[in-house]
Structure 1
Amino acid sequence: MIYIIWLFLSLGSFAQNNVLFEQGNTLYNAGKYAEAIDKYETILETNVQSSDLYFNLANAHYKLDNIAPSIFYYEKALLLNPNDSDIAHNLAFAKNMTVDAIDDIPDAGFSKLVKSITNITSFNTWAKFSIAFAIGFVVLFLSYYFAHATLKKRLAFIVSLTCLFLMCVTLVLAFNKQSLDKRNNPAIVFAQESQVKSEPNNRSEEVFRLHEGTKAQVLDTVSNWKKIKLADGKTGWIPSDDIKMLNNF
């Protein structure tokens, strides 16, 4: 009985959110961007997450020249749908509005190759590949052990070793992906201008300043301060209230 009640409530909430989403789209198309944002944010308050919702919300903020929110929601949409070219295209336009010019330090050589391969898919998918190759190895090794024909034994042995090798490779990629995801804590600066300090306190030296819309990686947290790292390698401490974490869904 409780499950049925919960199901009806869920369906009602889903229908209501669809109505709000369409209302938001209608307002957006009419040029009423602030009102469209209100509709989209009402949906977010129900803990509903989707790339389409974040994308439309980002578009509305972009139309109002709200730099930080537009970049923030484009980035959120891209996290949920990383292969969407429209999101990536609009995000690039939004980044053109930012003040800070930060040069990205690209990975090079073998490190770049490993990172590119690791990011092809998720940790769970790499783990599933590893399990599949492990099962393949066991089955083929048993086939090799019990086979009588020389050709079958040789073939089963070679393919089983191949599965063993691929199992090890995908297992390493799975743990590497897990490590990369764990270290990936992006955030967007929301303060119009923020002083980045050398230590997590207001008395320490200012090392540089950041402006709204800039993206950084969060390395550590101490009290009300976050240690951040920029794409060019610079690090420092910024007040926690000046940034918003992207991975908080």
Structure 2
Amino acid sequence: MRKVIVILVFCLGLVSFSQNDQRFDQANAMYNDGKYAEAIEQYEAILESGVHSAELYFNLGNANYKLNNIAPSVYYYEKALLLNPNDDDIKNNLAYAQNMTIDAIDNVPQVGFARIINNVVNTFAADTWAKMAIAGIIVFVLLFLMYHFAQATSRKRLAFIISVVSLFFGCFAVAMAFQKESLDKKDNPAIVFAQESRVKSEANKISEEVFRLHEGTKVQVLESYEDWKKIQLSDKSTGWIPAEDIKIIKSF
């Protein structure tokens, strides 16, 4: 019975994959024919089936950009970039979409030692740092064994020095992996979807308005309270925005 269920699930998966593949081709054909709204419907139907890919989000961004849908185009380009951060086409199209936004917000760069540390941490993903740490520890163990069993003094000295360096590198990579993971958890970007949103000083409608944001603007979500999200802009300004006015980029 269990084998029958497994085979049935596998067959259903193949059917679903085939249907999504056909929908994707149909959506691409509609896009090429200038039927952007129809293409969006097909792309979104694929998303609803649970399929997520950089190519799918990229095409959704393109179709929405053609219709001057500012927030959706920025949103989908950002999601595509999240899945494929090294794609130049996504970066270029995202820049075009961002040029349609109204809000001009200054970017306050980090300075000093914090900037140097963050640049080093962001050099690799957390998993890459972890793999480098494991490699460093393995090299340390092997060279330490070589040091222990080597007869020649020169070899023992060389093995000891390199093993110590490997140990320090492994510990450094572990620290970088934890720091990168911490930064990734804090990174919670979102896109404003409301045509105009009034950002408040507190999480209620009667509090003071601190500034207004418009569709397509990217914000960082710091915390949540009931139907409100505390956000931060690139210029370090903060405030509370209705949760319904934004969409989280990392939600799939």
Q: State the TM-score, normalized to the length of structure 1.
A: 0.98
> Which residue number in structure 2 is paired with residue 5 of structure 1?
8
Residue-by-residue CA offset, 1:49-95 (whole Å, 9 max, x unaligned): 00000000000000000000000000000000000000000000000
For 1:144 and 1:3, how far apart are their aligned partners in 2? 53
Aligned to 1:45: 48
Task: Tell me the CA shift for residue 226 of structure 1.
Answer: 0.2
How many Å separate the matches in 2 of 1:27 and 1:227? 39
Quote the residue 2:119 is aligned against.
116
What SS does structure 1 have at the residue aligned with 2:171? helix
Name the aligned partner's letter for residue 111 of structure 2. Answer: A
Q: Deviations over 1:137-181 (max 9, x none)?
A: 112112112211101101110110110111011111101100110
The one-letter code sitting in structure 1 at the alignment partner of 2:45 is: T
SS at match of 2:103: coil
Q: Secondary structure at the match of 2:117?
A: helix
The equivalent of 2:18 in structure 1 is 15
Within 5 A, what are the aligned runs for 1:45-64?
Answer: 45-64=48-67
Q: Give the Å deviation of 1:121.
A: 2.1
Query: Aligned partners of 2:20 and 2:169: how far apart in 1?
Result: 45
Q: State percent identity of aligned pairs.
A: 60
| Shift in Å, 1:117 | 2.3
Q: Return 5+ residue gaps in structure 2 as ranges.
A: none
Q: Specify the alignment match of 2:228 in structure 1.
A: 225
What amino acid maps onto 2:169 in structure 1? L
Match of 1:162 among 154, 162, 165: 165
* Per-residue CA distance 1:189-242 (angstroms, 9 max, x = gap): 000000000000011000000000000000000000000000001000000000
| Number of the residue aligned with 1:82 | 85
CA distance, structure 2, for counterparts of residue 7 and residue 125 of structure 1: 33
> In structure 2, what is the equivalent of residue 70 of structure 1?
73
Cα offset for 1:7?
A: 1.2
Tell me the TM-score normalized by structure 2. Answer: 0.97
- Could you tell me which residue of structure 2 aligns to residue 93 of structure 1? 96
SS at match of 1:221: strand
Q: Which moved more, 1:53-62 or 1:158-167?
A: 158-167
Give CA-to-partner distance per residue, 1:118-148, whole Å, 9 cap, x none: 2222111111110111111112112112211
* Residue matched to 1:131: 134
